[in-house]
Amino acid sequence: MKRRLNLRQRTLTTIIMAFLLLVTMVFTGLFIGENQLAINIEDRNSPPSFANLFGTDWLGRDMLTRTIKGLTLSLAVGMLAAVSSTIIALILSILASWNRTIDYIVTWLIDLFLSVPHIVLLLLITFAFGGGFEGIVIGLALTHWPSLARVLRSEILQVKTAEYVGVSRKLGKSQLWIARHHFLPHLIPQLLIGFILLFPHAILHEAAITFLGFGLSTEQPAIGIILSESMRYLSTGMWWLAFFPGLALLLMVGIFDLLGQHIRRLIDPFHGQKGS
């Protein structure tokens, strides 16, 4: 009789499978060249088939190839935005531990950003920086840090009351030394989980802004652009132009969300050690 995997083993298996799926997606997209995205008028408007699993568009371009390339581009945007947002959240949360005045300023900034409708703020910042790849990355980076910063700040407030932090202060250790040796190691699990969970939000918002015409250039095969262009052809019955790219985007976001949840479960002392 086969022994069932306990919760920790199942969690590790899920994390590995999700990670392998993402890596496969990225490497597949990186090896897609311009020739595979070329126009083929003779094969335009073809529905899904064995030759073209996602069908072709009005220019005869393979939708499966365009979708994978678009997901890779969205992943790159999400990576840069998530890294930038995580760094901003970390810096501000550590600065908040310096004194009450800085803590008040950081808290005020967090409340300010959270009080403004997210999509409106993202649109304004992206438009202010000229749109395109740089504009959308900057916009995502400057709008996705507040929630993580609030979590990190609360974690630091708990660590500040620890006895070993007080001992370090009495020994004359600087704020920077305390932040590097006491705060940062304690924040690493939250940083990792927060970084991964920022991906789904960043990717979806990138697709939304691009769909509205304020994000990536129309020359790039981004998912938002593919969905925006497909709206003109849905009334003619070409449903596959929006269905498959949209489904692929939701699957990638779901994989990231699943990855984040299981890493949190693995790191958590209770869930990580609990058996089946």
The model's pLDDT over 174-211, given as tens digits with 9 standing for 90+, comes to 778 877 777 888 888 888 888 888 888 888 888 888 88
Q: Is the residue at 117 inside a domain?
A: yes
Q: What per-residue confidence (pLDDT) applies to 188?
A: 84
What's the pLDDT tens digit per position in 42-75?
888 888 888 788 888 888 888 888 888 888 888 8
**For residues 229 and 234, what is the distance between their CA atoms, to the nearest angstrom?**
10
- pLDDT surpasses 60 at 276: no
Q: Is the residue at 1 inside a domain?
A: no
- Cα 16 from chain centroid (whole Å): 18
**For residues 186 and 40, what is the distance between their CA atoms, to the nearest angstrom?**
55
- pLDDT surpasses 70 at 131: yes
The CATH number of residue 232's host domain is 1.10.3720.10
Q: Is the residue at 2 inside a domain?
A: no
Using the 8-state DSSP alphabet, how is residue 180 labeled? Answer: I
Task: Name the average pLDDT for the chain.
Answer: 81
Which of 181, 175, 184 has its CA nearest to residue 156? 184
**For residues 135 and 68, what is the distance between their CA atoms, to the nearest angstrom?**
23
Q: Is the residue at 17 inside a domain?
A: yes
Q: What number of other Cβ atoms are within 10 A of residue 199's Cβ?
A: 24
Domain count, the chain: 1
Mean pLDDT of 92-117: 87
Q: Is the residue at 189 inside a domain?
A: yes
> What's this model's pTM, rounded to 2 decimal places?
0.79
With beta carbons less than 8 A apart as the criterion, state whether 179 and 165 touch: no
* Structural domain boundaries enclosing 235: 7-25+63-273
- pLDDT surpasses 50 at 2: no
Q: What per-residue confidence (pLDDT) applies to 271?
A: 45
More confident residue, 269 or 92: 92
What's the pLDDT tens digit per position in 67-76?
888 888 888 8
Q: What per-residue confidence (pLDDT) applies to 88?
A: 92
Q: What per-residue confidence (pLDDT) applies to 87?
A: 92
Helix-then-strand count for the chain, H and E = 12, 0
Q: Is the residue at 149 inside a domain?
A: yes
To the nearest whole percent, how much of the chain has pLDDT over 90? 3
To the nearest whole percent, how much of the chain has pLDDT over 70? 93
Q: Is the residue at 196 inside a domain?
A: yes
Mean pLDDT of 160-186: 80
Pair of tokens at residue 195? 């970084």
Q: Is the residue at 30 inside a domain?
A: no
